[in-house]
Amino acid sequence: MKKVLFLFLGILASCGIPYDGETIVTLEASIKNASGEPLPFQIATVSGSADFDYSDFGIYRNESNALGILKFELFSPKNRAYLQFENSNNFLPLSIAFDKSSFEMFHLNLGVITLFQPNEIESFNITLNPASGTSNLISIDVQAIKYESYVNLTDEMNNANPELNLSYTLKKNQNFNLNYQTQNNFTGAISSFSIPLTMENSALEYTITY
Amino acid sequence: MKKLLLFALLFLGSFINGQEKKSVIEFKPIYRFGFHRPVAFGDNYFAKDLSPAFGLHSNLSLVQVYKFRLGFGYDFQSHNVKNPTSIGNFGSVNFNQWYWMLEYTIPIDNQWQINPNVSYGETKVNYRGRNSGTLAKQSLEEIRLGGYATYYLNRSFSIYGGLHFSHFFNADLKASPENKDYFGSGNKIIFTIGIEIH
């Protein structure tokens, strides 16, 4: 009986109206290639998670202008929605999840979105070496031009406990900084480190010893 | 809405009961049914990004009091999206309008009559997908000023033409100031034609 009830509730939820017609929001981004040049005429779509039919995928479909600026005026999604780029010119897929909470004053500026081709990126992996036994690694921040196929800007992501990410995909041929913090188990003192690194044409590995 | 309608009918019924004493109150039901063509204008979404459309127009009033009539009506029209990049490439944008109308009767001669009127109502706007149901809903308030010119064919039937100015707005729209201006209000001229049953 419970299963039937959950199935019924699930069907009801999927039949919901995906957009709030009484709220209009603006989504904006600057689309660039790996060299930092504006990418005009890149087609992107926004779709609500409760769209009735895949053939309605193009309700929100727009392309970047001559300066690479992509702009959507849209009814605010009631649940999670996705900005996705149509696969063109061999650029790698990219999806950005957002919801009502992602907007401030009805506006969400995603800044620069870099579209990469497969030959423009390489992997960067971090290995942990807790040699001292007296400290914990508490944060890692890779300040580089990165490729992420999925970016989550929803409330759910903001409230989640960040896990230490040890694998990245970075643009080739760039200098970047690896920042990390350790905390002494006995004193609670936090130490910050910034390591300048260079990503060349092949995969890169770095070991953090603490 | 149903309660309002019931109240209006009871209210009018109480007048009709007193008809023997007051001859100014007459039970003269009028039902108009026809087509309308709203033409939105100005710098707003409804004028610039939706294609004009024909729709259905109807209203009903039951009694005449000192040549005044209180009636209610329903209009419908379905628009296509002209600019798909504006607020969405919807399959259709449907307007369902319910309104109350106060009109005055000015007889010209035995066959012609003019009915200036004012109306106020609510418009439910449904933004529909191309292959699915409603994807977004909106409510507008609408004020109309205008009138009908009626030509009597016989005791039971007339033909009428109407011309109205309409201002509509969405007081509940949440958006940036510029989007509130663009998407939240508009004006239109409404042409109507149809038959009137007495």
Q: Which two tokens stand for residue B170?
A: 């969405």
pLDDT at B175 over 50: yes
The reply to whether A105 and A177 lie within a common domain is no
What is the pLDDT at residue A104? 93
Instruction: Give residue B196's Cα distance to chain centre.
Output: 15
Closest CA–CA distance from residue B94 to any residue of chain A (Å): 13
The reply to whether A105 and A57 lie within a common domain is yes
ipTM over 0.90 threshold: no
The reply to whether A126 and A30 lie within a common domain is no
Interface touch A19/B127, C-beta < 8 Å: yes
Segments making up each domain of chain B, as ranges = 2-197
The more confident residue out of A180 and A163 is: A180
State pLDDT tens for residues B18-32. 444 556 788 889 999
Closest residue by Cα to residue A124 from A177, A74, A60:
A177
Closest CA–CA distance from residue B56 to any residue of chain A (Å): 24
pLDDT at A157 over 80: no
Average pLDDT value for chain B: 89
For B130, the closest of A55, A105, A107 (CB atoms) is A55
What is the pLDDT at residue A160? 52
With beta carbons under 8 A apart, name residues in chain A contacting B91. Answer: 56
Interface touch A18/B174, C-beta < 8 Å: no
The reply to whether A54 and A36 lie within a common domain is yes
How many domains, chain A?
Answer: 2
Asked if the structure places residue A154 within a domain, the reply is no
Domain of residue A89, residue span: 2-114
- The residue in chain A having the minimum alpha-carbon distance to the alpha carbon of residue B86 is A73
pLDDT at A54 over 90: no
With beta carbons under 8 A apart, name residues in chain B contacting A59. Answer: 88-90, 129-130, 135
What is the pLDDT at residue A56? 61
User: CATH top-level class for B2-197?
Assistant: mainly beta
Q: Does B197 touch chain A (CB under 8 A)?
A: no
Q: For the domain that residue A186 is a member of, what is the CATH number?
A: 2.60.40
The reply to whether A131 and A40 lie within a common domain is no
Concatenating the DSSP letter of every residue in chain A gives -HHHHHHHHHHHHHTS--EEEEEEEEEEEEEE-TTS-B-TT-EEEEEETT-S-GGGGGGEEEE--TTSEEEEEEEEESS-EEEEE---TTPPP-EEEE-GGG-BTTEEEEEEEE---GGGEEEEEEEEE--SSSEEEEEEEEES-B--SEEE-SHHHHHSPPPPP-EEEEESSEEEEEEEEEEETTT--EEEEEEEEEE-SS-EEEEEE-
The reply to whether A110 and A9 lie within a common domain is yes
pLDDT at B16 over 80: no
Average pLDDT over residues A177-201: 94
State pLDDT tens for residues B92-138. 999 999 999 999 999 999 999 999 999 999 999 999 988 778 889 99
The reply to whether A7 and A99 lie within a common domain is yes
The reply to whether A124 and A103 lie within a common domain is no
Q: For the domain that residue A24 is a member of, what is the CATH number?
A: 2.60.40.10
Q: Check: pTM over 0.90? Answer yes or no.
A: no
The reply to whether A140 and A77 lie within a common domain is no
pLDDT at A52 over 50: no
Question: Hey, what amino acid is at B47?
Answer: A
The reply to whether A180 and A124 lie within a common domain is yes
Asked if the structure places residue A155 within a domain, the reply is no
For B176, the closest of A52, A53, A106 (CB atoms) is A106
State pLDDT tens for residues A125-155. 999 999 888 899 999 999 999 999 999 998 6
Share above pLDDT 70 across residues of chain B, in percent, rounded to a whole number: 88
Closest CA–CA distance from residue B171 to any residue of chain A (Å): 10
Asked if the structure places residue A192 within a domain, the reply is yes
Asked if the structure places residue A198 within a domain, the reply is yes
What is the pLDDT at residue A59? 87
The reply to whether A96 and A181 lie within a common domain is no
Asked if the structure places residue A153 within a domain, the reply is no
